[in-house]
Amino acid sequence: MVRLAGLAGDRGRTLLTLHDRGFDIRAVAVESGNRGAFEERGIDTIGSADPPDIAASVDEHDVDATVIDGWPRPGLADLAERLPNPLRVHPSLLPAFPDEDPIGAALDAGVKTTGVTVTFLTGATGTEPIVTQEPVSVFSDDDDASLSSRVREEAGVRAAARAATWAAEGRITLDGGQVLIEGDGGGPFPDRRVVSDDRKAELRYGENPHQAAAVYADRTEAAANVVRAEQLNEGAKALSYNNYNDADAALDLIKEFDAPAAAVIKHANPAGCAVSDSIADAYDRALATDPMSAFGGIVALNRSCDTATAESIIDSFKEVVVAPGFSEAALDVLGEKENLRVLDVGSLDGPAATLFEKPLVGGRLVQERDDQRLTTDDLEVVTERQPTDDELETMRFAWQTIKHVKSNAIVFATGTETVGIGMGQVSRVDAVHLAAMKGSEHAEGKSVEGAVMASDAFFPFPDGIERAAEAGIGAVIQPGGSVNDDEVIAAADDLGLSMVFTGQRCFRHD
């Protein structure tokens, strides 16, 4: 835990919020009228305004850094060499607005962005070396109270927490008039991230009607995306939170394939996917995997939507159609369904998104996109029976599809179309059961007999292979890597299956 002392003015809001966020604030020099909030939290208060006494009191508390939060007293220059890592929090983006009322000055100047600067205390404000900064948007309806709250209690806390943590880790050094931060680097996962998105729209609600929601747009994203896609059917209701989420998942899946491909997505999982010679046939084959589950789903195409495809789409209820274009005749057909949202995402030939993010309470996960594409040479045959050329083609199709199915995931496929999909199960055997049930009971005009099974992770025991064989599976693609691989391979040999290992898994948990 980072141990801090503080010098507090302006009610010490940054310091109080740091304490409430888990920082160990051990002592604070504070004006007498503001002591209560600190003392209620069990923080020692230092009443003297005499710099030597403040420095001595801070020294007694063995802290990593001192956060100076609007301290109103003179004599700060005398404390520069007496306090451990003295970090001054100033509520503007220096060198702008270095004076006593930076919030008011920012409002008077009409700037659209202000923020917080943390400097290393050496002298007068505006000339001290900058440790870090945190921007804050200024909105047209802001006043002193609203902007000050965001600057001091949000941006100030983030900036001070970052700088104090660096100090505690011993990463801050002074080189002449410049602050150097050890290990402060960029690259795909930089040491710091500044994100600035614009709200595109407030949504009707979030995942559920009792949740408010909005969608924000990154204006710089070059990859085809549903956030900035043009909704072609004016008058249809706007996309919902779940529509955006599912449409994004659908678009991400059909980007995997170069040949005409279609997918139907429900609750961010594929209900079906297929690749064919025409986009209309690809859609029909994808829908036939599980037409019952596809009711109310999202359709994604990687070719312009033509009339034949549009006529098939409106045969059953769908929420959204996503494609890189639509013929005029197709739009006329789709327009027959009043609230079928039609999204034109433009060309899919541009760059792919490289990073995917997931917000967490207290942070954010960032990872590279799973862009693995297997070739036949990547597959290790581990069974006595060699897969046929047709099985190898289906294995590669099933692998590109299963990357977009929530784990534990199983995909049954024939040719280049899905037959049954088992997703999101806590047991891999359960996922096999579900895929078998879907393929035998819900698929139309398809058969599990002789199909290929893909698994997004290894089989820990032979039971999953045995259940697949009961359903009629003839070949298996899976990562391998289990301590029981030999038992699983032996079971496949006994059952007359061909099986290949990919050497890499494709978990999807979001």
DSSP 154: I
Please give the average per-residue pLDDT across 419-424, as a whole number.
96
- Residue 34's pLDDT is 73
Taken as a whole, the chain contains a residue count of 510
- Residue 81's pLDDT is 83
Please give the average per-residue pLDDT across 410-429, as a whole number.
96
- Percent pLDDT > 90 in the chain is 72
User: Which homologous superfamily does the CATH classification assign to the domain defined by 375-501?
Assistant: AICAR transformylase, duplication domain (3.40.140.20)
**Are residues 100 and 148 in contact, defined by beta-carbon separation less than 8 angstroms?**
no
HSE-CB of 436 using CA atoms within 13 angstroms: 19
Contacts of 344 (CB under 8 A, 6+ apart): 229, 230, 232, 323, 324, 325, 326
Closest among 509, 508, 279 to 399, alpha carbons compared: 508
- Residue 198's pLDDT is 87
Query: 55-108, pLDDT tens digit by residue?
Result: 888 888 989 999 998 887 777 888 888 899 999 999 999 999 998 899 999 999
- Distance of alpha carbon 456 from alpha carbon 407, whole angstroms: 7
Contacts of 171 (CB under 8 A, 6+ apart): 181, 182, 183, 184
Q: Check pLDDT > 80 for residue 441.
A: yes
**Are residues 497 and 473 in contact, defined by beta-carbon separation less than 8 angstroms?**
yes
Listed in order, strand segments (DSSP E) in 382-494 are 410-414, 417-422, 452-455, 475-478
Please give the average per-residue pLDDT across 207-230, as a whole number.
91
**Alpha-helical runs (H) found in 255-291:** 279-289
How many other CB atoms are found less than 10 A from the CB of residue 252? 24
**Are residues 126 and 95 in contact, defined by beta-carbon separation less than 8 angstroms?**
yes
- Residue 189's pLDDT is 86
Q: Check pLDDT > 80 for residue 54.
A: yes
Helix/strand/coil percent split, the chain, to 5 = 30, 25, 45
CATH number attached to the domain at 224-344 = 3.40.140.20
Enumerate the domain spans of the chain. Answer: 3-181, 224-344, 375-501
How many other CB atoms are found less than 10 A from the CB of residue 87? 27
Quick one: tokens of 352?
């792919």
Quick one: tokens of 262?
């279609």
3-state SS class at 276: coil
Q: Check pLDDT > 90 for residue 286.
A: yes
Q: Do domains 3-181 and 224-344 have the same CATH topology?
A: no
Average pLDDT score, the chain: 92
3-state SS class at 115: strand
Give the sign of the dihedral formed by CA 266, CA 270, CA 274, CA 278. Answer: positive
**Are residues 306 and 284 in contact, defined by beta-carbon separation less than 8 angstroms?**
no
Identity (one letter) of the amino acid at 487? Answer: E
Q: Check pLDDT > 60 for residue 125.
A: no
Please give the average per-residue pLDDT across 467-473, as a whole number.
96
- Distance of alpha carbon 66 from alpha carbon 52, whole angstroms: 15
List beta partners, residue 359. Answer: 364
SS3 annotation, 56-86: HHHHCCCCCEEEEECCCCCCHHHHCCCCCCE
- Residue 12's pLDDT is 84
Quick one: tokens of 33?
């009228």
Q: Are strands 44-46 and 297-301 parallel, antiparallel or unpaired?
A: unpaired
* Residue 453 backbone dihedrals phi, psi, to 5 degrees: -115, 130
Q: What fold is seen in the domain 3-181?
A: Rossmann fold (3.40.50)
